[in-house]
């Protein structure tokens, strides 16, 4: 496979950083976007070949953010093949505790930005090479307590994925989603440590002897972008250690 160029949002840490590292292992050239400049620098410094990575510090909700990332990819690498819409915010609340400002923020970061990055990248993708992955969540598939705006944004990403697969499949462009289960990153770490109810909801019923790692999602994203998935489109790849398809309850202890 000839060398590809990817834009990865939310690249500074967690799943985004692991994705940058995984794609760099494959020789992919990357525009790594995030609002957190120091962590972005760390992401590049700790990857296998920092020369393959260009950094763009931006809030993805800013009006010019998608065009700025696209311009960097074109200037630095002469094209774009893949978009990984990964940046997101979590730890939402139920409807009756969510005000309009919070609702808008979840939709803006998790959904609207993904749509706007996708729209900016589309004109540059080539048939048979172009691919996108939206990072959704198991909360976008199953109803879980206390996460209304987050779950709504992540479910909408799955609709966007299927719709785009229909619209751009005829142009040879594939669009897929990953739906991570509970993955040990900064986003889940505080909640896992401090919120016993959250642990009971997502960690304890995972029927695998460990929680997910950012690398597990990065591997799925690599697969969906790569030619190994050349006939996979409109698909949601759930990576959750079996959480969403089992009714696992940990054994009782005496
Ligand atoms: N960790 C989990 O358990 C889990 C589960 C399901 C889905 N996800 C999804 O995976 C994605 C990555 O999550 P993570 O666990 O790595 O989280 P994380 O908080 O460790 O990383 C998210 C990154 O996105 C960046 N970001 C957030 N808002 C931004 C903005 N407005 N502009 C630019 N950058 C911004 C942050 O700076 C951060 O570097 C998210 O979309 C999240 O919803 C995570």
pLDDT, mean of residues 57-62: 98
Confirm whether 197 is a catalytic residue: no
Q: Side-chain half-sphere of 205: how many Cα atoms within 13 Å?
A: 14
Fold (topology level) of 5-182+213-239: Rossmann fold (3.40.50)
The pLDDT tens digits for 135-175 are: 999 999 999 999 999 999 999 999 999 999 999 999 999 99
The string of DSSP codes covering 109-131 is IIIIHHHHHHHHHGGGPPTTT-E
Per-residue CA distances from 34 to 7, 100, 211 (Å): 11, 25, 25
Beta strands in 76-158 (DSSP E): 82-85, 131-135
pLDDT of res. 64: 98
End-to-end CA distance of the chain: 55
Give this prediction's pTM: 0.98
pLDDT, mean of residues 29-50: 98
pLDDT, mean of residues 181-199: 92
User: Ligand 1: distance of its center to the CA of 186 in Å?
Assistant: 8
Q: Delimit the domains of the chain by residue range.
A: 5-182+213-239
Task: Verify whether ligand 1 is closer than 6 Å to residue 14 (CB atom).
Answer: yes
Task: Verify whether ligand 1 is closer than 6 Å to residue 87 (CB atom).
Answer: yes
pLDDT, mean of residues 32-61: 98
pLDDT bracket for residue 123 (50, 70, 90): very high
Ligand 1, atom 25: closest residue by C-alpha: 10
Contact 158, 44 (CB under 8 A): no
Task: Please identify, by atom number, the ligand 1 atom nearest to the C-alpha of residue 183.
Answer: 3
Beta strands in the chain (DSSP E): 5-9, 29-34, 53-57, 82-85, 131-135, 174-180, 236-239
Per-residue CA distances from 222 to 21, 99, 148 (Å): 10, 37, 29
Q: What span, in angstroms and rounded, lies between the C-alpha atoms of 165 and 176?
A: 8
**Main-chain phi, psi angles of 94, to 5 degrees:** -70, 165
The pLDDT tens digits for 222-235 are: 999 999 999 999 99
Q: What span, in angstroms and rounded, lies between the C-alpha atoms of 179 and 191?
A: 19
Strand 5-9 and strand 29-34: the pairing is parallel
Mutate to test the pocket of ligand 1, among 59, 90, 213 (most ligand atoms within 8 A of CB): 90
Q: What span, in angstroms and rounded, lies between the C-alpha atoms of 202 and 137?
A: 12
- Identified catalytic residue from 106, 150, 168, 198: 150
**Main-chain phi, psi angles of 55, to 5 degrees:** -105, 140
């Amino acid at each position: 496979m000839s060398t590809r160029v990817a834009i990865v949002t939310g690249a500074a840490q967690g799943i985004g950083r692991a994705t940058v590292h995984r794609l760099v292992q494959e020789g992919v050239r990357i525009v790594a976007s995030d609002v957190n400049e120091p962590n972005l620098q760390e992401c590049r410094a700790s990857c296998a070949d920092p020369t393959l990575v260009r950094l763009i510090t931006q809030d993805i909700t800013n009006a010019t953010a998608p065009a700025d990332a696209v311009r960097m990819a074109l200037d630095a690498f002469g094209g774009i093949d893949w978009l990984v819409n990964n940046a997101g915010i979590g730890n939402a609340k139920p409807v009756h505790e969510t005000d309009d400002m919070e609702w808008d923020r979840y939709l803006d970061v998790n959904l609207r930005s993904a749509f706007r990055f996708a729209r900016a990248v589309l004109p540059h993708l080539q048939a048979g090479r172009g691919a996108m992955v939206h990072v959704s969540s198991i909360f976008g598939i199953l109803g879980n307590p206390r996460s209304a705006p987050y779950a709504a944004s992540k479910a909408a990403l799955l609709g966007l994925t299927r719709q785009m697969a229909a619209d751009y499949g005829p142009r040879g462009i594939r669009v897929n989603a990953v739906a991570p289960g509970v993955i040990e990153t900064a986003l889940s770490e505080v909640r896992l440590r401090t919120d016993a109810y959250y642990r009971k909801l997502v960690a304890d019923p995972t029927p695998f002897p460990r929680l997910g790692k950012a690398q597990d999602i990065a591997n799925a994203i690599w697969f969906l972008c790569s030619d190994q998935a050349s006939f996979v489109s409109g698909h949601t790849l759930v990576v959750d250690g079996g959480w969403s398809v089992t009714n696992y309850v940990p054994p009782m202890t005496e």
